Chain A
Amino acid sequence: MKFGVVVFPGSNCDTDAYHAIRDGLGAPVDYVWHQSKDVTGYDCLILPGGFAYGDYLRAGAIARFSPVMEAVEKFARAGGLVLGICNGFQVLLECGLLPGAMLKNESLQFRCMYVNLRVENNSTAFTNTLARGQVVSIPIAHGEGNYYADERTIEALEKKGRILFRYCDRDGHVTRESNPNGAALNIAGIISDDGNVAGMMPHPERAYQAVLGSADGLEVFRSIAAFISSRSAVVAVGGGRA
C-alpha cells in the first residue's frame, strides 16, 4: 500500500504526517507536490495541516484550485481514500468534497492544546481500530475550527452517521466546556457519504507515539492501513479461488 502526503505552498504539517506514516505506521509514503496532476498508485492521500497560500481570502479557498486537486477529486470519486487534517479539512470543505464550512473560533483565539474526542462512528476506513464511544486524546492547533453547516446538512450528518469525532470531556461527555472552537454539535471530524473522504481538525500525526504526549493519533493511520489491507485481501481471495 502507498500513502501520499500532498504539499501546498504554506503546508507545514506535511513532514509530521510523512513521519507518522513512515515511522509510526511503517508504510511507504511519498510527498505529492501541489502541481502534480498524477496520483496513480496511491491508496490514501493526506491533505496536511498548515496555512496553504497563507489562508489568504479564506483558509483553503485558493489551495482548492491547485493543479493536484483535480486529480484528488477524481481519485476520491474512484474510491481512493482522502484524509484532510486541519487545513486539509478546510481545503476539502472549500472544494465541496465534504459539506459545510469553517468559521473563526468562537473565542477568536488560536487554540493550540490537547483535546478529548469521542469516537462517534468506528465503521469507517479511518476509525475501524477504535471503539464506538472511545475517548482519544489528540492535539488541535487552529484559529478556524468552528464547523458550520445549515440545519439540514447537520441533521443529515447526524442521521447518516457521518460524524467521526466530537469534542468531549475526559469521560466522553459532549459538553459546551469541552468544545474548543464553537463547532456545531462539537463536531471535530466528518466523513463523506461514500465513506472515502474524511476531514478532522485535530492532528493525529502529532500524536502517533507516546513520547509526543499521546499515541492515539496512530489509530487513524492504522485504521486506514487495515481498511486498505482488507480491501485488497478480498480481491486476492477472489483471484485465488479462480
Chain B
Amino acid sequence: MNCTAAIKVMLKKTVLDPQGAAVRGGLRSMGFDCVTDVRVGKSMEVSISGVSSIEEAARLADEMCRKLLANPVIEEYTFEVYES
C-alpha cells in the first residue's frame, strides 16, 4: 500500500527560537497585538510505498525522524500517517 507521513519537527520548548521571536515581532508590528508567541518549525511530507500496513509505515516514519529528520538534541517531532 502507499502511505504519506505528514511530519512536523519543532525546536524543543526549552530551546530559544530567535526566528520565532522575529516572526512574533513582525506580526505584532503589523497590528496583531493578540500574538503572544510564535515558534517556527518544519513540515515534511514523506511518501512511502510497498508497506503492508499503516502501522509499518508509522514505524518507518518514526525511525526516519529519529535517524535524520529531527535532531534529538534540539528538536522534537510528531507525525500522522495516512493511506494515500
Contact = CB atoms under 8 A, between A and B. Distances in A.
A58 B75 CA distance: 11
B71 A105 contact: no
Contacts, number: 37
Contacts of A99: 73
A234 interface: no
B interface, size bucket: 10 to 19
Task: Give the 3 A-B CB pairs with smallest separation, nearest first.
Answer: A101-B73, A101-B74, A106-B18
Given A108-B22, A182-B18, 20 more contacts: A57-B68, A57-B69, A58-B71, A61-B68, A61-B71, A62-B68, A65-B68, A93-B73, A94-B71, A101-B73, A101-B74, A103-B11, A103-B15, A103-B18, A107-B18, A108-B18, A108-B19, A146-B16, A149-B73, A182-B16
A93 B71 CA distance: 10
Contacts of B69: 57
A172 interface: no
A105 B68 contact: no
Interface in B59-73: 68-69, 71, 73
Given A106-B16, A182-B16, A100 B22 contact: no
